[in-house]
Structure 1
Amino acid sequence: MPLASEPVRDIESMYHKEDGRVLIEIKLMSVIQLFNSFDPAPFYEKEIDTQAEHYIVDTVRDFPAKTKFKIHIYLPPALVASEEAKKIIPAIHTHFHYRMLVADRKFRSKFRFGRISLLIGLVFLAVALVARQIVATMNNHFLAQLLSDSLLIIGWAAMWEPITVLLYELWPIIRSRKIYEKISTMEIEVLPLPG
């Protein structure tokens, strides 16, 4: 929390800008730092390091959706023109395009599950409500009331999961997918570390 004498800074003031775009700046001492060393894929297809990915994604997530970005990767001057450095830009784009495809698949799977569970929940609710009406005609008033209320609660409880999935769990996936898509087409520049 800022002290009373410190000015309150907005998040945008903490980043450099270039041509109206917020810069996501990553300083590396070697190209391999950007990649997951446990990934057995060829160099240019490797996964981006988890910390680098989180930094890029979290930066984009911190800003409004319409904000424009550019990524600057800083390397020691001797590495900027290397073959490995030339593979950084396509590797980042490929990585986030893959993440976008995974988010698409996750959305479709979750949406399919939500629709099926909604159908099951509605059928179960209808059966519970019909059974409730039948139970309400029983002679034992207390037992009939107890069973009737139990069927109503169980019927509505069956709707909990589909409602949770369809109303709340899909939106974060959609947001992540949009962020990955944005990063997968973002302009990236590899530059020498400032002296």
Structure 2
Amino acid sequence: MREVRVTRTERDGAVEIEFRFKSADQLLNPNDPSPLPARELTEFGEEYIAGYLDGCNLKKVAAITVGLPRASLSPGEAALLPETIRRHFSFRIADLDDDRRVSRREGKISVILAGINACIAILFLLVFVGRLDDPAVVLLTGLVTILNWVTIWDTYEYFVYDYRREVRKRRIYEKLAGIDIRVET
């Protein structure tokens, strides 16, 4: 089961969040043979921690605590776990930067396509403005309208939603790469 208990504590305007995992395998990738702190987090652990912080004011989050069952880590491993988590999120920032570069390229292409489609729509209307009683022209007008709506919406969605989400995710990972992390077993 993937259940994780989360406790949120506020003190003097600062927020501390405790994540209680049922096993170390929920947090640390059991298929990664690397010793701590080079071991990777599981996709579930990464997304769960980052996803929870997405709902918080990052400026107020002061620390996180990771709780694991007693027998899941040795005392030496427990001491290395905060560095492991910070290292993982630091490493993942580079992946997010690569994703953002690709995303920006796609955004530029979307703007160009939206511009081309708008020009085609204007030319289409100029050429066929007097023939709107022809069923084929009405059908083509609908097709051009739909194509323009789709390309403009895709461009709008990128800049208004997707890009903001990418920037927010990077801020969360930066926060997790430098935050105070405690371990409780």
TM-score (norm 1): 0.72
Q: State how 1:169-184 maps to structure 2 within 5 Å.
A: 169-184=162-177
Which residue number corresponds to residue 25 of structure 1?
Answer: 18
Output the CA distance in 2 between the equivalents of 1:74 and 1:164: 38
Whose radius of gyration is greater, 1 or 2?
1
Q: Which residue identity does 1:142 align to in structure 2?
A: D
Cα distance, 1:109 vs structure 2: 1.2
Matched, 1:114 2:107: yes
CA deviation string 1:112-155 (max 9, x = no partner): 101112112201220221122112245x7434861445434433
Q: Higher mean Cα deviation, 148-157 or 102-111?
A: 148-157
Output the CA distance in 2 between the equivalents of 1:145 and 1:68: 59
Identity of aligned residues (%): 26
| Corresponding residue to 1:142 among 129, 134, 146 | 134
Output the CA distance in 2 between the equivalents of 1:157 and 1:32: 43
- Change in CA separation of 1:30 and 1:149 when aligned onto 2, cut-off 3 Å: closer
- Change in CA separation of 1:16 and 1:124 when aligned onto 2, cut-off 3 Å: closer
| Corresponding residue to 1:79 among 58, 74, 80 | 74
TM-score (norm 2): 0.75
| Corresponding residue to 1:46 among 23, 33, 39 | 39
- RMSD across aligned positions (CA): 3.3
- Change in CA separation of 1:34 and 1:157 when aligned onto 2, cut-off 3 Å: closer
User: What is the number of residues matched between the two proteins?
Assistant: 177
Matched, 1:132 2:103: no
SS at match of 1:15: strand
Which residue number corresponds to residue 4 of structure 2?
Answer: none
- Change in CA separation of 1:157 and 1:28 when aligned onto 2, cut-off 3 Å: closer
8 Å Cα contact 2:13-2:60 kept in structure 1:
no
| Corresponding residue to 2:50 among 42, 48, 57 | 57
Alignment gaps of 5+ in structure 2: 1-6
